[in-house]
Chains A and B, each alone.
Chain A
């Protein structure tokens, strides 16, 4: 790979799906994606999340761009990226910043759940959590809800493998099994794009029928975090069921 390739965009598009050409197109247009994501910043969504949404939209526009059309790639990419950013903000619009009080309540709830699960041998109910944490049931519910809304992770960047805690080795066979299950085959390409941890959570929940509390224990994150990741993963997969049909 030559770092200073002098190829034109047209030449690069002609070379697709060559990964090097794709990478070069991605690098060239990254500033556009960053610029657009900054324009949408300050609306209650994390800047990094927006940047990831924009990057994914850029990738999508590279894969979908038809050089034969009478339109500049930058125009096509801008429309795609702005569309995805708007959709993201609309979908997550309610996921505004969580007030500090709720974050603190969320931490208390999060801490009590595994303790109670240990004692009870099952996941606790809301009244049980309320009793243990000396919170009202309403506050427990608010805290659970807020932790769901709090978009600390963005599945719009499923290619990011940064915080994978699960080794890839154990996953190969499991992925295959998940994709062999009825219904799941329809999202096989999207499953491949998921980070290993998210795939593992799906596998444990839907193939092994483990509860969210058990999964939390096994992976070493909170039950609320498992719940949030599942919600994001399922939303991501829903978007990609029959995704190919949209392609021209």
Chain B
């Protein structure tokens, strides 16, 4: 296994709704250190909620939800994935679902994808640009 790139934070929870707030907090706390502004941090919190809810609903029999957050250039990228049965993930016509609309409204980019670790939602948010050189 290659070592993770610098400034990567990840956390894993049981695939249960009552643990989702842990991932939300981890994402918010890490994003603050990666120079997202408060609007983006709170949008990210909402996005993590939405992504977890969608994965829990659409991907059955998962045992874990995993969140990875890292800086990639001017973006902060968050991937929420599960190890559940990928079945028909991403769901048919997912770009017409409310979850997708909410996620794309909250973030700069969103993708429903099959990552190596399983069904995943990838979200990008822009960091505050003028701080990048500091």
Contacts and interface: CB of A to CB of B under 8 A. Distances in A.
Interface string A206-222: 10010111000000000
Contact of A141 (B32, B50, B99, B131): B32
Which 4 residue pairs are nearest across A and B when measured between Cβ atoms? Answer: A183-B101, A126-B32, A123-B39, A123-B37
Contacts of A127: 32, 35
B101 A184 contact: yes
A231 interface: yes
B124 to A, nearest CB: 16
A205 interface: yes
Interface stretch (B1-9, B17-25, B81-89): B17-25
B112 interface: no
Q: How large is the interface on B (under 10, 10 to 19, 20 to 34, 35 or more residues)?
A: 20 to 34
22 contacts: A122-B128, A123-B38, A123-B39, A125-B35, A125-B36, A126-B32, A126-B38, A137-B32, A137-B33, A181-B101, A183-B98, A184-B98, A184-B101, A186-B97, A206-B101, A206-B102, A206-B105, A209-B105, A211-B39, A213-B39, A238-B50, A238-B98
A70 interface: no
Interface of A: 90-91, 93-94, 113, 122-127, 129, 137, 140-141, 144-145, 148, 181-184, 186-187, 205-206, 209, 211-213, 223-224, 227, 230-231, 234-235, 237-238, 241
A181 B25 CA distance: 30
B53 interface: yes
Contact of A125 (B32, B49, B101): B32
B128 A212 contact: no
B131 to A, nearest CB: 7
B15 to A, nearest CB: 16
A154 to B, nearest CB: 17
Contact of B43 (A122, A129, A212): A212
Nearest to B128: A125
B111 interface: no
Given A183-B97, A184-B98, A230-B46, A145 B25 contact: yes
Contacts of A184: 98, 101
